[in-house]
Amino acid sequence: MANEDQRDYWNDDAGRKWVEHRKRLDSMLGPITKILIDAIAVRQDEDILDIGCGSGELSWRLAGLGANVTGIDLSNPMVDAARAAGSGSAQFLVADASEFCADTSFDAAVSRFGVMFFDDPAAAFANIHANLVEGGRLVFACWATPDRNAWAMVPAMAVRPFLADAAPPDPHAPGPFAFADDARVRTILSDAGFRDVECELHDIDVIMSESGGLDDATAFACQIGPGARALGELDKSERPKAREAIREALRPHIGEDEAVAMAGAIWLVSAAA
């Protein structure tokens, strides 16, 4: 079955943690949600597909602007959370975006970080293309290169010395940085039938803790993101030392008022079907 590893991953601890921390994540990713909403430029009553909708923040925001939104996601806990998060013109389905086939075509397909996890991105985007009307818009955010995303790489690199297999990961493997290379994204989308592909780089501050200082930022980095994922691969006996290493790596990033803000960068990708 396609995307089985990701289905397992997002239906297990990762999905539950994203639900548990959803308010904080939505606040942390707020600047990106705004960039996306501006770029999507919703038209009244249009039909929008939110790919990898998670707990539904982007879907509900678009529904609030007058769109009819269908959010799809592999994760049962995330879809349950999305359904419970609002009422109005948004519906949520547990579905794989690489196979999903709707009865009607969508005017736009959008995503906040839900498109970098496909085993076969070319096939997945060909399927997304097939779900859009002719000329339909594709707009999504994905993380740019790891060196521009300290919020993710500082915790991940802190855990690396504790990993048995510390070989550099495949940069194209499904995961947060699978679409970091904009040339690759352009090729995937063009091959899938999209035209007018644009990748616009946006630098943003990622607020790991608003005012909770090192303890709070460390606890968060141990729950969500590449550092947390690496931590999960360790033997339980190794984890306290690795957590301490994350804490020390975050220490230089504490700012005024115990805020911890770190560098981040995304590609805002847009194209037409």
Ligand X SMILES: C[S@@+](CC[C@H](N)C(=O)[O-])C[C@H]1O[C@@H](n2cnc3c(N)ncnc32)[C@H](O)[C@@H]1O
Q: Which residues bind ligand X (CB under 6 A)?
A: 3, 6, 10, 25, 29, 52-55, 57, 72-75, 78, 96-98, 112-114, 117-118
Q: What is the Cα–Cα distance from 32 to 56, expressed in whole angstroms?
A: 14
Least separation, in Å, of the C-beta of 84 and ligand X?
A: 15
> Of 118 and 194, which CB lies nearer to ligand X in the complex structure?
118
Question: To which residue do tokens 């608003």 refer?
Answer: 210
Name the minimum Å distance from CB 207 to ligand X.
Answer: 15
Residue 191's Cβ-side half-sphere holds a number of Cα atoms within 13 Å equal to: 12
Of 245 and 270, nearer to ligand X (C-beta) is 270
Between 48 and 245, CB nearer to ligand X:
48
Map tokens 């349950």 to a residue. 80
In the bound state with ligand X, the residue whose beta carbon lies nearer, of 47 and 50, is 50
123: number of CA atoms within 13 Å, CB side?
A: 10
Nearest approach, Cβ of residue 254 and ligand X (Å):
26
Number of Cβ within a 10 Å radius of residue 104 = 10
Cβ proximity to ligand X: between 97 and 132 the closer is 97
* Shortest CB 123 distance to ligand X, Å: 11
Give the whole-angstrom CA distance, residue 188 versus residue 108.
18
DSSP class of residue 103 equals: S
Q: Quote the distance between the C-alpha of residue 49 and its chain's center.
A: 15
If the CB atoms of residues 74 and 245 are measured against ligand X, the closer one turns out to be 74
> What is the smallest separation between the CB atom of 53 and ligand X, expressed in angstroms?
6
Q: What are the helix and strand counts (H, E) for the chain?
A: 12, 7
Q: Which is nearer to ligand X, 51 or 199 (by Cβ)?
A: 51
Between CA 195 and CA 272 the distance in angstroms is 5
Beta bridge partners of 94: 73
Nearest distance from residue 140's CB to ligand X, in Å? Answer: 9
- Minimum separation from the CB atom of position 200 to ligand X (A): 18
Concatenate the DSSP letters of all residues of 178-193 into one string. Answer: TT--HHHHHHHHHHTT
Which residue reads 């990748």 in tokens?
199
